[in-house]
Amino acid sequence: MIELLKSYFQTPQFPAGARVNRLYKGSLDRVDGRVVAHTDEGVLVEWPRNGSGWEQPGALCLQG
């Protein structure tokens, strides 16, 4: 139970090469990105359109 509660306050971690989507105001804003790097600054994602960009980890979700 404690681990579950702690997980709500942790920053999500994304491994390099993971496929991600970006959420904005409750809907998918960008899809099919590939994580290049995850640093303290954020997550560098390469998008199929619009090139690469730094994203906040909380705005991303893993593709299932």
Domains of the chain: 2-62 (2.30.30)
CB 19 within 8 A of CB 62: yes
The predicted model scores a pTM of 0.80
**Token pair for 46:** 């390469």
Question: What number of residues does the chain have?
Answer: 64
Average pLDDT over residues 6-31: 88
**The pLDDT of residue 44:** 96
**The pLDDT of residue 13:** 86
Given a cut of 90, whether residue 19 has pLDDT beyond it is yes
Given a cut of 80, whether residue 57 has pLDDT beyond it is yes
Given a cut of 90, whether residue 5 has pLDDT beyond it is no
Which sign, positive or negative, has the C-alpha torsion 62, 43, 45, 55?
positive
Least confident of 10-14, 20-24, 34-38: 10-14
Amino acid at 10: Q
